[in-house]
Structure 1
Amino acid sequence: MRTVQIVVAVLLAVAGLAGCSLFGDGAPTQDEQIQKILDENAQFTVFLRDDATEAQRKDVEAALRALPGVTEVSFENQDAAYQRMTELFSANPTFVAEVSKDALPESFEVKMTDIAAVRKIRDEGAVGKLPGVDRPVFTCLDVEECKKRYAPRPSGSPS
């Protein structure tokens, strides 16, 4: 849920970049505001493989807790993931009906001290190699990444 909030906040901030700019009035720039949001919400998610064993899940959790800069690690099983998905997409009951609980992986949400700690974990790449891990997922980790990832893309010309 928190990842969705971060993405929405970043999207709103990037959209604001296209419409206005702040000049020399002592207020933080939009880039500074985006960076602050990233630092305040420094986290990443680790999705487990469908065939991950209980021992692997415990080992992954222990490895995540041992990472430098970790402040919190929380586990989400398939039931909780399905419940969260139904809440997030409640306005689209057709979509919800098409997704089975078994389609959603178990995961860990890892909160970090700051975005620099998350960047270090991403750049090292060791988390994705842990037995039982399908993949770690990182949001953008700096303002330029966010602009590239969430900037409006031109649509194709009509035929």
Structure 2
Amino acid sequence: MRRLLLSTILVAALIAVSGCSLWSDDDIDPVDKPRISVFLKQEVAPEEQAAVERAIRAVDGVDAVVFESSEQAYEKYRLLMRDDPRFDPAITADNLPSSFVVTAKDLTAYRKIRDSSFTADLEAKAGVARVVFACATMAECKDTTRSPNP
């Protein structure tokens, strides 16, 4: 059971980080914008999910909000890990949380959202498990990998 829990946490982190946008501040790819993952609790009620989505859409600087079901997250995990010997067949869609993938309008908007009360406000809402910001630059990714609590 402990192995399954650890694997599930690893998978959720892997899926969130797979959206990491690796560009320098002056080399922005207009197709790939900074992303934020808002993971929902397994037992989230439909009205709680709708309230979370409304709260995200109301934030200045948000460009797009896409819901990703646990089944879609599992498919992404399966594709990412298909050739990896660490692929854990015990992981199923039921082990993965559904989430909202939030795209900021640009790097400036992303940083403004990241540095605001966005995370605290959302994590205080019913149904939200965790908010994860993908690193937006190579320097941020390097700093994050060295820090035990990014």
TM-score, normalized by length of structure 2?
Answer: 0.71
| Match in the other structure for 1:50 | 42
Identity %: 32
The number of residue pairs the alignment matches comes to: 129
Q: Which runs of 5 or more structure 2 residues have no equivalent in the other structure?
A: 1-14
Pairing 1:4–2:18 present: yes
Greater Rg over alpha carbons, structure: 1
Pick the structure with more helix per residue: 1
| Match in the other structure for 1:156 | none
**SS of the residue aligned with 2:36?**
strand
Task: State the Cα RMSD in Å.
Answer: 2.8
Counterparts of 1:1-159 in structure 2 under 5 Å?
A: 4=18, 6=20, 10=22, 32-33=26-27, 36-37=28-29, 40-92=32-84, 95-123=87-115, 124=117, 125=119, 126-142=121-137, 144-150=139-145
- Whose RCO is larger (CA < 8 A, sep 6+)? 2
Which whole-Å CA distance do the structure 2 matches of 1:110 and 1:79 have between them?
Answer: 18
- Aligned-pair distance for 1:75? 0.3
Q: Which runs of 5 or more structure 1 residues have no equivalent in the other structure?
A: 14-29, 152-159
Is the 1:121–1:127 Cα contact (8 Å) retained in structure 2?
no
